[in-house]
Structure 1
Amino acid sequence: MLTVNPKVRPPLDPEFLPAALWHRAYRALVAKDAGARPFALVLVRPDGSVFRHDARILSAGHPAAALTLTYAERLLKFLLWMKGAPQVLVAGADEIATALAKIYHPAGARAFDFDFMGQKIFGRVFSVEASTFEALPASVETSLPMGRHLEGCRIGFDLGGSDRKAAALIDGKVVFSEEIAWDPYFQKDPAYHIEGVHDSLQRAAAHLPRVDAIGGSAAGVYVNNEVRAASLFRGVPADLFEQHIRRMFFTLQERWGGVPFEVVNDGEVTALAGSMAMNDNAVLGVSMGTSQAGGYVTPAGNITSWLNELAFAPVDYRPDGPRDEWSGDRGVGAQYFSQQGVARLAVRAGFNFPPGIPLPEQLIAVQTAMKAGDPRARGIYESIGVCFGYGIAHYAEFYEIRNLLVLGRVTSGEGGEIILARAEGVLRDEFPELEESIRLRTPDEHSKRHGQATAAASLPAIPVSSR
C-alpha cells in the first residue's frame, strides 16, 4: 500500500529505496487518513537536554497501520544517532512504544543501539517508555560557541581510520603539517593509540617556539574530552579501554603541561572548518572516508552537543539492504557514503580484488580505473551520487541546511565531481525546493590540506592570563 517510485536510480544499486521518498509516501497516506494521530518521540539526556520530534501517524485501524512501526523505528534510529540519549519517551501510540521497547532491547534487533546509547555513551540503561503528551518534558537544547580561536602557538590533530594528521599553527598560519598512516581499528594495546597521538604532537611541536593549546578531532563520540565510543578503539579490550583509553586525552594533556586541550568528533570539526572557510553558517559537513562522518554548525554559528553519527543513520529502507558489519543494521549511511560503500559497489561493478585487500587500496584501485576511463568506476561514483542526493533530502528533514560541505577521500578527483553532479541532479528532479536552498560545497585546496587541522587547533580558548 506504499508506492515509492524514484525518478533516478543508482545504476549499480537499483533496489535502493530512498528514506526521503518513503517518508513522503507515508505522509501522503497519513494526509488522507481521517483518523490520523499526533505522535512524538522525545529523547532525554542525563544532563537535562531534551530533544522532541513531532509527527503524525496512521490510525491504529488503518489498513496500512503496520507501516507505522517501520516509520517510527527508522525515525527513532535516525534521531538517536543524530542527537543521542539513553531515554526515549513515546506519545500518541502506546502500541508503538511497546514494540520499540522490544526492538531496542538486549535481545532485540537493535541490541547494538541499546548498548551504545545506554551504558557506552551515557552510562545508564537505555529505555523506551510510553507517555502522555501532557507528561512530556519541555524541549531543552543548547549549542556551544566553540572554536575560531587562532591566536598563539597551537597544534591541531585529526585521527582517522587510516591516518592521523597534525599541524602546527602560529596565529592561525600553518607552519607545519603532516599525515602519518596508521591502522588503529584492531590494535589491542592502548599504547599504540596514546603513543601514536603523542608522537604526532611532538613532531608538530618541534616547529613551534612553545605550545599554548592543543585541539583535536577524531572519529567517534567524545563528551567533555572523554572517549565514550569510537570504532578507532574497537580492538582494545573493555578493561583496558576503561583504564587507559576513556581518559587518554587527559593523559596527553598532563604530558603537555596542562595546556588547554579540546577534542571533539571529527564531523563537528569538518563542519566548523567549512563554516570558517565559507564565512557562513547552517553547515552540515559530510565526510566520505573510511566510514561516514557528519557534523553540524547551527545557523547561529555554534557547535551542538549532538552526536551527528550519520554512519549509523538509515537512508535506505529496503528490508534486505546491505548490512553494516559493526552495528548489524541495514541501509545505514556507512554502507553508501564511505570507502565501505565503494568496496560494496566495486563487487557489483565487476572489480575482483584479492581477499583481504584493505579498503583504502580498493579505493585507490577504483580511482586509478576512473582516471583510465573505466566505465565500471564511473558506475560506482554515479551510484554513490544518486544515493547521496536522496540522502541529502532525508538529512534536510532533520537539519536546517544552507551549506552542505562534502569531503573525504571518496570524493577526490573526477569521481567526486560525478558524485556531486549526480546528487545535484536528484535534488533538481525530485526536490527542486532543496536544489534552490542548499549549496553543495567542496573544500578548496588550502582547506583540504589545512582546514581540518586549523579548525581543530582553534577549539580551545587560551586564558587571557596565559597569553
Structure 2
Amino acid sequence: MAGALVDGAGRILVRALRATPAREDAETVMGAVASVLAELTASPLWGRVDAVGIGSAGPVDTATGTVSPVNVPAWRGFPLAERVRALVGGLPVALVGDGVAMTAAEHWRGAARGYDDALCLVVSTGVGGGLVLGGRPHPGPTGNAGHIGHISVDLDGDPCPCGGRGCVERIASGPNIARRALAAGWRPGPDGDATAAGVAVAARAGDPAARAAYERAGRALAAGIAATATLLEVRIAVVGGGVAGAGDVLFGPLRQALRQYATLSFTQRLEVVPAKTGTDAGLLGAAAAARGL
C-alpha cells in the first residue's frame, strides 16, 4: 500500500509505503491503511491537504464508497471511503478503481495527455483498465467502466475466476502468461524466476514456448483494444503495469495483431504506447480523482 502527498502540478512531495496483509482479517488490512495515513498526516505539509483520493483494486463501488478487491478476501463491500474519511478529519474523499486511477494519471501527466478519447490498461497480476471520453476520465456509475480484462476474446477459452470464459485477463495477465509458458514446456532459468518477467527474458533469448505465451497475450490484448476502439472511437491505448515492462516482447505481437483486429477506417490509426507514469500511476491517479480531474 502506497500513499503520498501530491501537489497541483502532479509532483509527489511525501511518500509512505506499507506491505499489504492481504490474507489477514479486514481490520488488520485497514490497520495498514491507517499506518500509511498516520505517516502522511504527521508531515508538516499535511495542513495544505484539501482532499484525499483512493485508488483501489476492484471491484469498487464508488456510489457506496465500498471495495471488494479480489486479492483481499476479507474486504467484501468494505466501507473504505468512510473509514478513510474518519481518519483524515472529514476531508472530501474520492474513491476510484486502480484501472481508473492509472487512466487519470496517464491523462494528467502521462502518455494520454492531450487526448480526449483514450483507453488505458494495467497489465499485471490481472488486467484492468479505464477510459477517457470527451476529455475526462469516465469511471461509469460504479467506477468500473473500461474494465477490459473481463472482455471475452475466446468464446471457448478457459473459465475465468470472474465467472466468464476466455477473458483477456485469463490470457494476458502475468500469472497466465507464465502458466501458459510452463504448460508448453518453458522452464525458468538459473535464477528460478517463474514469473512473466522470467518468461520475457526467455522470449528475448528466443525460447519458442516463452515467445508463444507473449504472442498469445498480445493477441488477446489487441482483440480487447480493437473491440473497445470500435465501440468508443478511442484514439490511443496506453499500456502499463508490470507485464508492459517486457517491452517489444509484448508490444511487437500486440501491434501486429491489432492490425488484424482494428480494420475499420476509424480504428486503423489507433496508437498503442507504453505508459509513462510507471509505479507512481496509482498515486497520481488517486490525486487526480481527488482534484476532480
Flag the 1:369–1:208 CA change in 2: closer, same or farther, 3 A: farther
- CA deviations on 1:333-375 (whole Å, 9 max, x unpaired) are 220221232133122332357xxx9xx9623432443465544
Is 1:416 the counterpart of 2:251? The answer is: no
The answer on 1:344 being equivalent to 2:179 is yes
Amino acid in structure 2 at the alignment position of 1:419: L
- Partner of 2:6 in structure 1? 169
SS of aligned partner of 2:166: coil
Aligned to 2:271: 439
The answer to whether the aligner puts 1:333 opposite 2:178 as a matched pair is: no
Cα displacement (A) at 1:281: 2.0
Q: Residues 264 and 368 from structure 1, CA distance in 2 versus in 1: closer, same or farther, beyond 3 angstroms?
A: same
1:124-135 equivalence runs, <5 A: none
| AA matched with 1:394 | A
Q: 1:322, 1:331 within 8 Å by CA — same for their partners in 2? A: yes
In structure 2, C-alpha distance between the alignment counterparts of 1:183 and 1:421, rounded to whole Å: 37
Does residue 190 in structure 1 map to residue 26 in structure 2? yes
Alignment of 1:4-403 (within 5 A): 164-172=1-9, 173-177=11-15, 179-184=17-22, 186-187=23-24, 189-210=25-46, 211-220=49-58, 221-224=60-63, 226-227=65-66, 229-236=68-75, 241=76, 245=78, 247-276=79-108, 277=110, 278-306=113-141, 307-308=144-145, 309-318=147-156, 321-324=157-160, 326-351=161-186, 362-370=195-203, 374-403=207-236
Equivalent pairs, count: 278
Deviation string 1:85-111 (CA, Å, 9 cap, x unpaired) is xxxxxxxxxxxxxxxxxxxxxxxxxxx
Task: Sort the Cα spacing of 1:171 and 1:300 in 2 relative to 1 into closer, same or farther, 3 A.
Answer: closer
Which secondary structure does the structure 2 equivalent of 1:459 belong to?
helix
State the distance in 2 between where 1:251 and 1:438 align.
41
Q: Supply the distance in 1 between the matched residues of 2:197 and 2:17 (Cα, whole angstroms).
A: 17
Change (3 A) 1:327 1:428: closer
Partner of 1:404: 237
Matched-pair contact (CA < 8 Å) for 1:404–1:439: yes
- What SS does structure 2 have at the residue aligned with 1:397? helix
Judge conservation of contact 2:186–2:207 (CA < 8 Å) in 1.
no
Identity %: 22
> In structure 2, how many angstroms separate the alpha carbons of the residues matched to 1:367 and 1:398?
32
Structure 1 residue 215, shift from structure 2 partner: 0.7
TM-score for both structures, normalised by structure 1: 0.54
Q: CA–CA distance in 1 between the matches of 2:234 and 2:208?
A: 33
Cα shift at 1:430? 4.5
Q: Does structure 2 conserve the Cα–Cα contact (< 8 Å) formed by 1:166 and 1:204?
A: yes
Q: Which one of 278, 281, 285 corresponds to residue 451 of structure 1?
A: 281
Stretches of structure 2 that go unaligned for 5 or more consecutive residues are: none
Tell me the distance in 2 between the aligned counterparts of 1:218 and 1:269.
8
Deviation at 1:459, TM superposition (A): 1.8
Equivalent position SS for 1:233: coil
Q: Does the CA contact (< 8 Å) of 1:349 and 1:376 recur in 2?
A: yes
CA distance in 2, matches of 1:208, 1:349: 55
Contact 1:424 1:435 in 2 (8 A): no
Quick one: structure 1 residues 449 and 430, their matched pair in 2 at CA, closer, same or farther if it must change by over 3 Å? closer
CA 1:168–1:264: 2 relative to 1, 3 Å: same
3-state DSSP class of the match of 1:396?
helix
Query: Normalized against structure 2, the TM-score is what?
Result: 0.82
Higher radius of gyration, 1 or 2: 1
Deviations 1:111-149 (A, max 9, x none): xxxxxxxxxxxxxxxxxxxxxxxxxxxxxxxxxxxxxxx
The one-letter amino acid paired with 1:314 is: S
Deviations 1:425-458 (A, max 9, x none): 12224534366321112122xx114333122112
What is the rounded CA distance, in whole Å, between the counterparts of 1:208 and 1:365 in structure 2? 42
Query: Does the CA-based 8 Å contact 2:236-2:271 persist in structure 1?
Result: yes
Measured in 2, the distance between the counterparts of 1:443 and 1:458 equals 16
CA distance in 1, matches of 2:210, 2:283: 31
Deviations 1:265-286 (A, max 9, x none): 1111222122223222211111
In the aligned structure 2, how far is the partner of 1:285 from the partner of 1:460? 19
TM-superposed CA distance for 1:460, in Å, is 2.2
Question: What secondary structure does 2:45 align onto?
Answer: coil
1:315–1:394 contact (8 Å) kept in structure 2: no
